[in-house]
Structure 1
Amino acid sequence: MAAASVKELIGQNEQAETACDPQINQKKKQKKNNVAVTDVEDSIEQNEQLEIVCDSPMNPQKKKEQEEEDMQLSDLIETFRSISESEKHWECRRDFIFRNYDDYEDPHVDQLLALSMVWANHVFLGCRYDEVLLEKVKEMAEGIVVEDAPVFKTRDELIKQKR
């Protein structure tokens, strides 16, 4: 209640000031208008700068270099496919590798490949691993959609179901 009283007193004080001196009221309005105009002008300037950055086309040379790098990476990742992998398994594992390649560049690519196999074996073959490891690969694979993934039951689940 004390806070409301203070606000009321401040409001009354401002009303009394503007009633006694009309110039104070006019100065306050000008100040508010100047702040509003300044904010609007700053906002417009920021938007124009953003448009310049967003609308500027990529340098053709840089674009070509980026495409070449992407092709080289794609070709490199294709070499990681196992002979025994089906197209479905490879597509998912390739996505896993692409998503995480930047975090495991040379000399850590072997670690990434091992993690991709752990994830693929867990998803497609039902292999079980340490919980910490599974959490890590699941996090790394977040967003990868696996269509028609098999559902596996443990021996304990099967025995429990028969009873």
Structure 2
Amino acid sequence: MSGQTVEDYLAQNPQVREWVESLRGICETNKQWSARRAFILQNRESLGLGLVPQPGPDLDRLLALSMVWANHIFMGCRYPQSVMDRVLPMAEGIEVHEAPQFTTRDQIMSRSKRSLPPTDEEANGCSKRPKTSDSAPTPSAPFSSHQKRGPSSQAPAQLQPFFNRLYKAVCWKLVSAGGFGPNLDHFEILRGCVESCKDSLTCVFVPLREIAGLPAGRTQKEGHVCEIRCQTVYMGTGYGRDEAAARAMASKEALKVFQGRKVQVKICRRKFTGHEVDDLMLLDDQPRSQGFPPALSYPFHHEYSEESGS
């Protein structure tokens, strides 16, 4: 369906024009809206919605799929393959002139692998951060360099089925919300998906002024840092002017992991109160070139305490 054909059709059907124009997002450019409008018009009757669809779950589903396709074309967003297999055929015949070109992480990493061999840490998805800020949310028992205990080696395999279910719940929730974006209520989406999987989130807050080792250029001491976990697995860290803002940023970081093709629970090394510890972390399927922020909490702390007292 060409742009001219759409304009001719809408000129002959003013009631359709009035309806479809009411669906335009306030942030969509003319090019983006023209393409998404064509997607909606092309699929509404094939889905049995009629000439001017009435509000309902079927229309909501069509609008969500149109946003998935538009986000993929104009923003380079990636979704589960099952979603793309459904959306792309729905867009056949829609021409998008001068569509932006995106380089995927797979392409970037394949180029890097041809030029430089990955380190052992990168191959495992666990890189050390060269410079980190230590946090001190609570007093802790002393650690020694020889202590290796923490989460059990079986924990990732035991927890993976839960996070596979959570991955599916988050992906479909993002699809229904029109894709990952800055205007989402990231915490509510994450919390709702976790609760749909019969579990809950754990949020730990630390005032910024209590975090040692901040860069010399950072003079602001007000605000909070939030760490989010689920079933003891670390998911994200965020900073904000208050606890709610920090929690929102941590949730946004956590949701970014679900944009890959899958999520993985892994045991990685990170800092807690200035010491290297093993921690359970939720990662996507891509090698990492950066390390992790220091832990604000450590659910396996008692194991270190028991060992240090033995």
Compute the TM-score of the two structures, normalised by the length of structure 1: 0.55
Question: Deviation at 1:153?
Answer: 1.5
Give 1:92's aligned residue. 35
Secondary structure at the counterpart of residue 91 of structure 1: helix
2:63 to 113, 116, 120: 113
Sequence identity percentage = 43
Q: Does 1:82 align with 2:34?
A: no
The 1:68–1:151 alpha-carbon spacing in structure 2 relative to 1, beyond 3 Å, is: closer
Higher RCO, Cα 8 Å, sep 6+: 2
Give 1:126's aligned residue. 76
Contact 1:89 1:120 in 2 (8 A): yes
Give 2:15's aligned residue. 72
Deviations 1:108-146 (A, max 9, x none): 111111000000001111111111211111111100011
The 1:138–1:87 alpha-carbon spacing in structure 2 relative to 1, beyond 3 Å, is: same
Secondary structure at the counterpart of residue 18 of structure 2: helix
More helix by share: 1
Secondary structure at the counterpart of residue 33 of structure 2: helix
Alignment RMSD (CA, Å): 2.2
More strand by share: 2
Q: Does 1:144 align with 2:144?
A: no
The 1:155–1:81 alpha-carbon spacing in structure 2 relative to 1, beyond 3 Å, is: same
Query: Which consecutive unaligned segments of at least 5 residues does structure 2 have?
Result: 1-9, 116-310
Question: Deviation at 1:71?
Answer: 1.5
The 1:147–1:68 alpha-carbon spacing in structure 2 relative to 1, beyond 3 Å, is: closer
Question: Deviation at 1:69?
Answer: 8.5
Deviations 1:49-107 (A, max 9, x none): xxxxxxxxxxxxxxxxxx99821111100010001000000000000001011125232
Q: Tell me, in whole angstroms, the C-alpha distance in 1 between the residues paired with 2:92 and 2:11.
A: 27
Secondary structure at the counterpart of residue 153 of structure 1: coil
Q: Tell me, in whole angstroms, the C-alpha distance in 2 between the residues paired with 1:154 and 1:68.
A: 39
Structure of larger gyration radius: 1
Q: Tell me, in whole angstroms, the C-alpha distance in 2 between the residues paired with 1:91 and 1:68.
A: 15
The 1:161–1:125 alpha-carbon spacing in structure 2 relative to 1, beyond 3 Å, is: same
Query: Which consecutive unaligned segments of at least 5 residues does structure 1 have?
Result: 1-66
Secondary structure at the counterpart of residue 80 of structure 1: coil
Q: Tell me, in whole angstroms, the C-alpha distance in 1 between the residues paired with 2:32 and 2:11.
A: 26
